[in-house]
Amino acid sequence: MYTHTEVEQAGSESKALPADQPSSTDPASSSPSLVEVDFGGQKVQVPKGGYYDRYRMNPNLEEVAQDPAAGNLDFFREIPKEKVPSRVGPTWAPNFYYRMSNVQLLFLAPIARLREKLPKPLEPLHPFPGYGLVALTFFSYPVCDNDPYDEVSIAIITRRPGARGSQILELLKSIRNRSFYAHVLALPVTTEIARVRGVYGYQLPKWLAQIDIKIGTSVEASIAATDGTPDLALTVPLPALRTVLSQSEQGTNYSVYQIDGQWHQVAVRSNPLSFAQRLFPRDVKLSRNGGPLSQLLEQLGVSTILRLDVVKEAQMVLHMPTSLTTFG
């Protein structure tokens, strides 16, 4: 339902690292084939000869097309990149994710708990009496403009800014249009450039963590706390996948949050190619081991798993934040 992105980390009780503090848990930190680059005045290490090292987020698609791992690029050819202003100076946007996969659990959670976590005037979407929706998503990006990385998101599904009327109708419209709004409470990542871009480019409180995602005959995903101890671990048998034509099931999701005290939204456009959905899945095993994300799920009071989504293959475009005037 909700794919990628961003925003406000859980409160201090989550024990996550401050967003502007680097961490020795960067999995790439011990790699011998790294090169130091400048991003918005921050020095970070990226894979030598990788996509960021070569293209600085402005790739030559004809060259990328020679990479067998990138797949078909027709989806991206219709989306021009432009040099736009940002919090870290002019940057090329949007960001291209040539190959990605994810697994998502959509939970029911008490509406009172969700309102406690949402900054006003955001309102949780609650089409069921007394309950709203929380999405836990594990993402893997093996081929993208910023080199491979993984991330995990916990997000509250919200009403569209300025929406009025029936919440059930709003949910049905969102499902039909494949478009949802959300406020992300946590977004740990596995590489330093992903963390730095999120913190300084998008003002997101990201932190580094060890994350593993495997989609084979079963789906296995896990994340560790900042001290390396287990946090969340997910296992579920792989549902029967559906393969569709490129660009036939496109959707756009929006992350809504504040940047420098002003409301913004970030659009994330997705092009799923192979995926599965199951309502009220009974064979999901989610272990909570007391880390920051486990604590956050407890604080939100998540209960019934309403839907399981597994995306084995997709493409994605991440836009820069744009001003949101609805809230003033």
Report the percent of the chain where pLDDT is more than 70.
90
- Length of the chain counted residue by residue: 328
Tell me the average pLDDT across 106-133: 95
pTM above 0.95, yes or no: no
Residue 86: the pLDDT is 86
More confident residue, 221 or 31: 221
d(CA 135, CA 120): 20
Residue 199: the pLDDT is 85
Report the percent of the chain where pLDDT is more than 90.
78
Inter-residue contact 83 to 90 (CB < 8 Å): yes
Tell me the average pLDDT across 32-59: 91
Tens-place pLDDT, residues 120-168: 999 999 988 999 999 999 999 999 999 999 999 999 999 999 888 889 9
Residue 11 predicted with pLDDT over 50: no
- Nearest Cα to 181, choosing from 108, 264, 78? 264
Sign of the dihedral through C-alpha 298, 301, 305, 307: negative
Delineate the domains of the chain, giving CATH numbers in brackets.
Answer: 12-323 (2.40.400.10)
The helix/strand/coil state of 313 is strand
Residue 26: the pLDDT is 45
Q: Report DSSP state, residue 146.
A: T
Residue 280: the pLDDT is 96
Sign of the dihedral through C-alpha 9, 10, 12, 14: negative
Residue 71 predicted with pLDDT over 80: yes
Q: Report DSSP state, residue 197.
A: I
Residue 42: the pLDDT is 86
Residue 221 predicted with pLDDT over 80: yes
